[in-house]
């Protein structure tokens, strides 16, 4: 097993490098880079998305003077740069590192990333690492609660559906599961806002944020209640769309095990149905479900919460990534891509190791994978 783990760890390096290369190349051809974003802000033509750029860390977060505006009649490779002094454009390029060739920029970026030095945000006066760390509590809250509730609902429901396969309970719950799977979480979130957040009918829950104003002045039990009150709608929206796959996976796993010979033998010995189900079937049936927990949590933590954080104005990693993409804040974009990809590859390895811990009969090394 050790040789398999080492081999997989070594494979992470070219995989991660390839993903970064592909995304870096795509970004080079994407219009509206950070230089154009800054030009739009200077000229006052930035849209709502780009006008949210907050300065403090940029020397160019100000209007140019007359000496910078005049004489820029030469053609520019940046949209909106007409009328600006080419020397001023060159200063902006140098500020963002775009005065260097793409290959040199990519090489410098990957060299720094090897030591987890992600630099500073283009448009925020903070290091990228500090930004990511500051957003983690919100995303972890969403990820932990969503994953926990999804497993607590899906596993018992899937077991009951397997035991009562073909019954009316199985049929109508399958309908609910299919509907939940078909409705995207962000669409369900909008429905919850309309229904329960003052959108049209009831105003039972807050519309945005993780806590209320004046949260720090509340007592400890009021703090907990206020936090849970704000989490009800976002977590509900994420759980509805996430429990369908796990429920059907649990059901099918149990159905597959229930029909095997060892179950028939256990029943022939006179064991109770509960003893057969939870003493013999449960461990084998839950292998694939339990082993998938690490990757499921990472998936919810880093990808599933994107739209939910934006809709409910939750200042987490998803919202940070959304802002960075809109603002073309490349240090934040590439740093989060690097970290999330690395974590995803590592958690995939952890998932395989978990398989072997739960069922020693599984040997990835013997399969040469």
Classify burial at 201, counting beta carbons within 10 Å of its beta carbon; exposed 0-12, middle 13-18, buried 19 or more.
exposed
> pLDDT tens digits for 194-209?
888 876 777 888 877 7
Question: Residue 55 has which token pair?
Answer: 């300065």
Question: DSSP assignment of 296-356, as one string?
Answer: HHHHIIIIITHHHHHHTT--SHHHHHHHHHHHT-HHHHHHHHHHHHHHHHHHHHHHHHHHH
With a CB cutoff of 8 Å and minimum separation 6, the contacts of 109 are 24, 334
pLDDT in tens, 102-116: 888 888 888 888 888
The answer to which of 12-16, 171-175, 220-224, 353-357 has the lowest mean pLDDT is 353-357
Question: Which pLDDT score is estimated for 79?
Answer: 59
pLDDT of residue 365: 61
* Confidence (pLDDT) at 354: 75
Predicted confidence (pLDDT) per residue in 17-75, tens digit = 999 899 888 877 776 676 676 766 666 555 544 344 334 444 444 444 434 444 443 34
Confidence (pLDDT) at 71? 43
Digit-coded pLDDT (tens) for 123-149: 787 888 888 888 888 888 888 888 888
- The Cα–Cα gap between 157 and 246 comes to 10
Residues with Cβ within 8 Å of 190's Cβ and at least 6 positions away in sequence, in order, are 311
- Write down the domain spans for the chain: 19-127, 129-358
Mean per-residue pLDDT over the chain, rounded: 76
What's the CA gap between 365 and 216, in Å, rounded?
53
Give the least confident one: 46-60, 248-262, 308-322.
46-60
| pLDDT given at position 46 | 53
Provide φ and ψ at 250, rounded to 5°.
-65, -45
Fold of 129-358: MetI-like fold (1.10.3720)
């Amino acid at each position: 097993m050790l040789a398999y783990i080492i081999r997989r760890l070594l494979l992470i390096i070219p995989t991660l490098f390839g993903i970064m290369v592909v995304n870096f190349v795509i970004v080079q051809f994407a219009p509206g880079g950070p230089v154009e974003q800054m030009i739009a802000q200077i000229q006052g033509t930035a849209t709502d998305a780009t006008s949210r750029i907050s300065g403090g860390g940029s020397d160019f977060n100000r209007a140019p003077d007359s000496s910078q505006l005049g004489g820029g009649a030469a053609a520019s490779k940046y949209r909106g740069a007409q009328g600006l002094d080419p020397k001023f454009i060159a200063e902006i390029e140098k500020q963002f590192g775009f005065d260097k060739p793409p290959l040199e920029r990519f090489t410098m970026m990957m060299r720094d990333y090897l030591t987890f030095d992600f630099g500073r945000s283009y448009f925020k006066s903070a290091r990228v690492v500090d930004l990511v760390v500051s957003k983690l509590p919100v995303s972890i809250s969403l990820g932990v609660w969503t994953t926990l509730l999804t497993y607590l609902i899906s596993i018992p429901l899937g077991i009951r559906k397997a035991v009562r396969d073909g019954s009316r309970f199985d049929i109508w719950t399958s309908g609910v599961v299919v509907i939940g799977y078909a409705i995207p979480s962000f669409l369900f979130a909008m429905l919850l806002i309309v229904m329960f957040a003052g959108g049209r009918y009831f105003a039972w829950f807050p519309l945005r944020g993780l806590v209320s104003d004046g949260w720090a002045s509340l007592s400890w039990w009021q703090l907990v209640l206020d936090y849970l009150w704000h989490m009800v709608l976002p977590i509900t929206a994420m759980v509805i769309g996430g429990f369908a796959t796990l429920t059907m996976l649990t059901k099918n796993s149990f159905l597959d095990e229930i029909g095997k010979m060892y179950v028939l033998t256990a029943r022939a010995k006179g064991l109770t149905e509960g003893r057969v189900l939870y003493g013999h079937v449960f461990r084998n049936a839950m292998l694939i479900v339990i082993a998938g927990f690490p990757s499921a949590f990472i998936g919810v933590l880093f990808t599933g919460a994107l739209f939910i954080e934006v809709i409910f104005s939750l200042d987490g990693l998803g919202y940070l990534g959304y802002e960075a993409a809109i603002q073309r804040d490349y240090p934040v974009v590439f740093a989060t891509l690097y970290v999330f990809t690395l974590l995803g590859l590592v958690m995939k390895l952890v998932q395989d190791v978990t398989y072997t811990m739960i069922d020693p009969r599984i040997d990835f090394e013997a399969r040469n994978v």
